[in-house]
Structure 1
Amino acid sequence: MISIIISSYLPNYFSALENNISKSIGVPYEIIKIDNPGLMGICKAYNQGAEKARYENLLFIHEDVLFHTQDWGKKLIIHLNNEEAGIVGVAGSAYVPTAPSSWTVAEQYNFVNILQGNKENSEYLPIHTTQKNRTDVFAVDGVFIGIKKEKYNHFKFNEALLKGFHGYDLDFSLRVSKKFQNYVIDDILIQHFSGGNLDKNWLDANIKVRESIPSNFKQTTDAQTEKKAFLDFLYIFFKYYPINRKNIIFTLQFYPKKLNFKNHLEIARKYYNYLRYATSINKNLSTK
């Protein structure tokens, strides 16, 4: 039995998903709809939904999806009954860089089983990079988050830290991964009708997550991935914040460790160029 929690603001998507679930899930279930037209953050909405849940298996899911797998509920319960399992998802990453980043860290660490589409439902792209039925990951994308209620109760979504609609999945999954093993699975297929939006709100939320969760994950440091993640962070950070002494120092708290001389030199050159062209870059700051 599964309690499905949905933070909803698009009635047409919700109605289609509700009908789709009834035809495909294959097990007893309940849908807990939290009407949320932007009045509360998704952490608060999800926690409210989980409080109402009657069943031991929880699924937090976006409303702009459809299931393409029959009897997917049975498969999800099997995965969640694995004692080691923390979160079960359909997209995630097996590497956590030092710098603020989305779960899509680097191609070799990203594992996805999804049909990625658009809001017009005019086309979609099958993305299948999983290597086995359950692939070990740290971060899990928020489009599909399954977890046992007893395990959810130890972590819950961090509504004290995150008030909006970004970072909730990264924060939740990374905290869970400190105690349990998160998985991306390959036997439940969903179609998702929208992509992410890496705006200033996304950046600010991911900075909060990275500041609150130590980066001491059980992984071998990948210098190239660390360098790329840090340079990507600098690029988006200085898209929204001015280049000045205070902000340069702020970004350095996320400077990756265990880089070689070439990596250090490349990052130093990037800082030099930011400082050199600070005046012109600052004039074009994004306000979004």
Structure 2
Amino acid sequence: MISIVICSISPERLRQVIQNIQGTIGVEYEIIAIDNREKNWPIARVYNEGAYRAQYPYLFFVHEDVKFHSRNWGLVIEEKLKEPNCGVIGFAGTRVMLNCYSGWLQSHHWMCLLLYQGLGEGMTELRAHHAYLERPFEEVVALDGLGMFVRKEVWEEYPFDEVMLTGFHCYDVDFSLQIAASKKYKNYVCCSTKVLIEHFSSGNLNHSWYKDTIRFHKQKWNKILPMRIDGMEISHRDEKKYKERCFYYFVRGILQTNYPERKLMLKEFLFCSCSWKHLGHCITNLYKYIKS
């Protein structure tokens, strides 16, 4: 029994995803679709409102631009959610989150996913990273928000943060991280071929995303991270290397936006504890963005 919460801005997409769910889920469900075209609520508020209304014990927060390619996928998900220590289940996530500005994807070495990803112009590819047939669920610490399952009782302990998250970004990483940080629950990526989903959008790292991501780290998570799944060992040298790399890509991206404090972020990068060799390489590559 799954309550499906959708933040909708497109009646046609909503109609399509509801029709797809009806024909594939295979368990009792309800749809809680909140039209956000006029409300323009932050997505954290939309999801909390939808969860409050839910009558079933399992919640599914999902984008309206998805399509399931498997039948009776609800049975697979419900069976996993019954486990007392199960936290959030998603379709893409990371086994490690370092203390650096970024989204959930900090390195392909730690990424885990199994899904069809839309590439635009009607093209789609099957993406699989650290997904194994013998393990239908792979543990992670943080998840992408294209679709997230969780028991309602777990959400009640750790609802979406409406105070910090006043836009449309970071809600997924924050929600899954706070549940993983509790040490009471484990988060998972669903790698089962019995639950294949397609995501039509690849996301947009715009000015608002950078603004929200900086706030997300500075106001809440920079004192808590890094975090990794149990048994995942990372050397100090590798951690430093990946932090430097993440910061570089973040700064390179933000310099290509109209974010008003992007030069301050560049200054923070130049004064961070990067090796001189790495810093010199980065400045050389960032030069064309710095000039603009």
TM-score (norm 2): 0.85
Q: Which amino acid aligns with 1:172?
A: F
Q: How does 1:99-114 map to 2 (within 5 A)?
A: 99-114=100-115
Q: CA–CA distance in 2 between the matches of 1:247 and 1:126?
A: 35
The 1:155–1:250 alpha-carbon spacing in structure 2 relative to 1, beyond 3 Å, is farther
Q: Which amino acid aligns with 2:162?
A: E
The 1:283–1:16 alpha-carbon spacing in structure 2 relative to 1, beyond 3 Å, is same
Q: CA–CA distance in 2 between the matches of 1:90 and 1:274?
A: 33
Q: CA–CA distance in 1 between the matches of 2:36 and 2:47?
A: 10
- Asked if 2 retains the 8 angstrom alpha-carbon contact of 1:4 and 1:60, the reply is yes
Query: Aligned to 2:78, what secondary structure does the other structure show?
Result: helix
Task: Name the counterpart of 2:279.
Answer: 268
Deviations 1:72-91 (A, max 9, x none): 11111111112221110111
Q: Does 1:233 align with 2:250?
A: yes
Q: CA–CA distance in 1 between the matches of 2:167 and 2:127?
A: 28
Q: CA–CA distance in 1 between the matches of 2:78 and 2:190?
A: 12
More deviation in 218-227 or 39-48?
Answer: 218-227
Q: Which amino acid aligns with 1:148?
A: R
Q: How does 1:1-288 map to 2 (within 5 A)?
A: 1-37=1-37, 39-118=40-119, 122-129=122-129, 130-131=131-132, 132-179=135-182, 180-187=185-192, 188-211=195-218, 212-213=220-221, 214-218=224-228, 220-221=234-235, 222-223=238-239, 224-239=241-256, 240-241=259-260, 246-248=264-266, 250-251=268-269, 255=272, 264-269=275-280, 281=289, 284=292
Structure 2: stretches of 5+ with no match in the other structure: none
Q: CA–CA distance in 2 between the matches of 1:272 and 1:33?
A: 47
- Asked if 2 retains the 8 angstrom alpha-carbon contact of 1:243 and 1:274, the reply is no
**Percentage of pairs with the same residue:** 31
Structure 1: stretches of 5+ with no match in the other structure: 257-262
Q: CA–CA distance in 2 between the matches of 1:32 and 1:70?
A: 21
Deviations 1:228-247 (A, max 9, x none): 11211221233335665x54
More deviation in 64-73 or 211-220?
Answer: 211-220
The 1:124–1:100 alpha-carbon spacing in structure 2 relative to 1, beyond 3 Å, is same
Q: CA–CA distance in 2 between the matches of 1:114 and 1:12?
A: 23
Query: Aligned to 2:76, what secondary structure does the other structure show?
Result: helix
Q: Which amino acid aligns with 1:21?
A: I
Task: Name the counterpart of 1:260.
Answer: none
More deviation in 148-157 or 235-244?
Answer: 235-244
The 1:118–1:149 alpha-carbon spacing in structure 2 relative to 1, beyond 3 Å, is same
Deviation at 1:267, TM superposition (A): 3.9
Query: Aligned to 2:109, what secondary structure does the other structure show?
Result: helix
Query: Aligned to 2:162, what secondary structure does the other structure show?
Result: coil
The 1:178–1:243 alpha-carbon spacing in structure 2 relative to 1, beyond 3 Å, is closer
Give RMSD over aligned pairs.
Answer: 2.3
Deviation at 1:21, TM superposition (A): 0.8
